[in-house]
Amino acid sequence: MQTWVIGNWKQNPATSHEAGALVQGLLAAIDAKSAPIACQLMVAPSSIHLAAVSTQIKGTLLLAAAQDISAHSDSIGAYTGDCSAQQVADAGATWILLGHSERRQYHQESHEALIQKLSCALKQNLGVIFCIGETQAQYDDDQTLDVIDEQLSLIKDLLEQQLEIGNPLSERLLIAYEPVWAIGTGKVPTVAEVSATHQHIKQTLAGFSAELANISVLYGGSVNADNAQDFATDSMIDGALVGGASLKVESFLAIADAFGQNSE
Q: Does 45 bind ligand PEP (CB under 6 A)?
A: no
Site for ligand PEP in 114-173 (CB under 6 A): none
27 burial level (CB within 10 Å; 0-12, 13-18, 19+): middle
Site string for ligand PEP, 226-255 (x = CB under 6 A): ---------------xxxxx----------
Find the Cα–Cα–Cα–Cα dihedral 46, 75, 131, 7, rounded to 10°: -30
HEC string of 127-192? EEEEEECCCHHHHHCCCHHHHHHHHHHHHHHHHHHCCCCCCCHHHCEEEEECCHHHCCCCCCCCHH
Contact 177, 220 (CB under 8 A): yes
CB of 241 to ligand PEP, least distance (A): 5
Q: Is 164 among the catalytic positions?
A: no
Which DSSP helix (H) or strand (E) runs through 122? helix 111-123
Q: Toward ligand PEP, which CB reaches closer, 10 or 84?
A: 10
Q: Is 134 among the catalytic positions?
A: no
Q: Toward ligand PEP, which CB reaches closer, 126 or 255?
A: 255
Q: Toward ligand PEP, which CB reaches closer, 165 or 240?
A: 240
Stretch of 27-35, 78-86, 176-184, 205-213 contacting ligand PEP, by CB under 6 A: 176-184
Site for ligand PEP in 1-30 (CB under 6 A): 8
Q: Toward ligand PEP, which CB reaches closer, 92 or 244?
A: 244
